[in-house]
Amino acid sequence: MTKDFKQNVFQGRSVLAEKDFTAAELEYLIDFGLHLKALKKANVPHHYLEGKNIALLFEKSSTRTRSAFTTAAIDLGAHPEYLGSGDIQLGKKESTSDTAKVLGSMFDGIEFRGFKQSDAEILARDSGVPVWNGLTDEWHPTQMLADFMTVKENFGKLQGLTLTFMGDGRNNVANSLLVTGAILGVNIHIVSPKELFPTDEIQGIAKGFAEKSGAKLLITDDLDEGMKGSNIVYTDVWVSMGESNWEERVKLLTPYQVNMEALKKTGTPDDQLIFMHCLPAFHNTETEYGKDIEKKYGITEMEVTDEVFTSKYARQFEEAENRMHSIKAMMAATLGNLFIPRV
């Protein structure tokens, strides 16, 4: 490789938030994910990261993100190493900056799931290797790659579709959907009580992108207005990791549950409508939390009814699988020295 040869616009870059990427870049990663999914299904090896070491830092728990990064790294020929909150010092007895320097000297890439977005930024600044945000309180960018990959798989396109997120409109997933849709030209509706509308800052970022892409954004507490014309109805837990205000959220968000009545309000033909959820979901009482909520508040379902979750509209498990293919695309593009012209 000649010294000044730049293989692609991704090489060496961190993925901390969607706002740092153009529509063309995000679309490339989505399409590359679809391609890698096809390779995997056809048993075609794709060891783009042979010999690389990947650190997986998790301050918060995870099923999908951890599994996706682990299997994606192995499929790419890399070695993943899980470092949980109980395993390393991060922030407790060693600063994030010092941790970054140590990890960067041994690992070729770092995944970080935690609370503060600033920790992801410090890791990226001081490690010298790509850092991939596996969820912070503010953003969930790897979720977005899988989500819009799933949308493209189902509709064959992105631009002009309408995705409605109903629930806690100021959580990480809502923030990411609003901004990513705005970049990609997907109309985004956020339907939530006024108290949980996205912050002015997040709305401002999204509006800036929407002006360029033509995406129509709607933030409303009115279900009829918000649901109308939706192709994708999306929800997430009412209480995110790091929060514990169940009583307040159950009160505020019960009218914003995704149920069959809410889906009907879309007015969208059946073959043009899907339901998505990043998971985990509270759609029955088969969890400790679910049982506890039933005991305290007398409800057996929260953000989505079991009827919708098990309906013909539901795509949440395809979406979960796509976490792996899209994370693989992101890691290969940012670390694999691939030749990717014209993005």
Contacts to ligand NVA by CB under 6 A? 135, 171-173, 236-237, 240-241, 278
How many residues are listed for the chain in this entry?
A: 343
Distance CA 271, CA 283 (A): 23
65 binds ligand CP (CB under 6 A): yes
Q: Which residues are catalytic?
A: 113, 140, 143, 236, 278, 323
Q: Is 64 near ligand CP (CB under 6 A)?
A: yes
Q: Tell me if 279 is assigned to a ligand binding site.
A: yes
Binding mask 254-283 for ligand CP (x = CB under 6 A): ------------------------xx----
Q: Applying CB under 6 A, which part among 57-65, 72-80, 204-212, 220-228 lies near ligand CP?
A: 57-65
Contacts of 102 (CB under 8 A, 6+ apart): none
Is 325 annotated to bind a ligand? Reply is no
For the CB of residue 59, give the shortest distance to ligand CP in the complex, in Å: 12
Choose from ligand NVA, ligand CP, none: what does 316 bind? Cβ within 5-8 Å by kind.
none
**Which tokens is 293 given?**
């909520």
Pairing of strands 232-235, 217-220: unpaired
Q: What is the DSSP letter of 198?
A: P
C-beta closer to ligand NVA: residue 77 or 84: 84
Strand partners, 306: none
| 62: contact with ligand CP by CB under 6 A | yes
Q: How far apart are CA 254 and CA 193, in angstroms?
A: 10
> By C-beta, is 94 or 317 nearer to ligand NVA?
317
Task: Work out whether strand 109-113 and strand 79-84 pair parallel, antiparallel, or are unpaired.
Answer: unpaired
Of residues 8 and 192, the one with the C-beta less far from ligand NVA: 192
Residue closest to ligand NVA (Cβ): 240
Question: Could you tell me how many residues of this chain bind ligand CP (CB under 6 A)?
Answer: 8
Does 268 carry a binding-site annotation? Answer: no
63 binds, among ligand CP, ligand NVA, none (CB under 5 to 8 A by kind): ligand CP
Contact region for ligand CP (CB under 6 A) — 60-68, 71-79, 298-306, 307-315?
60-68
82 interacts with ligand CP by CB under 6 A: no
- Within 35-151, strands assigned E span 53-58, 79-84, 109-113, 131-133
Q: What secondary structure does DSSP assign to 30-55, as a single string?
A: HHHHHHHHHHHHTT----TTTT-EEE
CA atoms within 13 A on the CB side of 217: 26
Tokens 């990717």 found at = 340
- DSSP letter, residue 85: T
Binding site for ligand CP (CB under 6 A): 62-65, 135, 143, 278-279
Residue list for the binding site for L-ornithine: 172, 236, 240-241
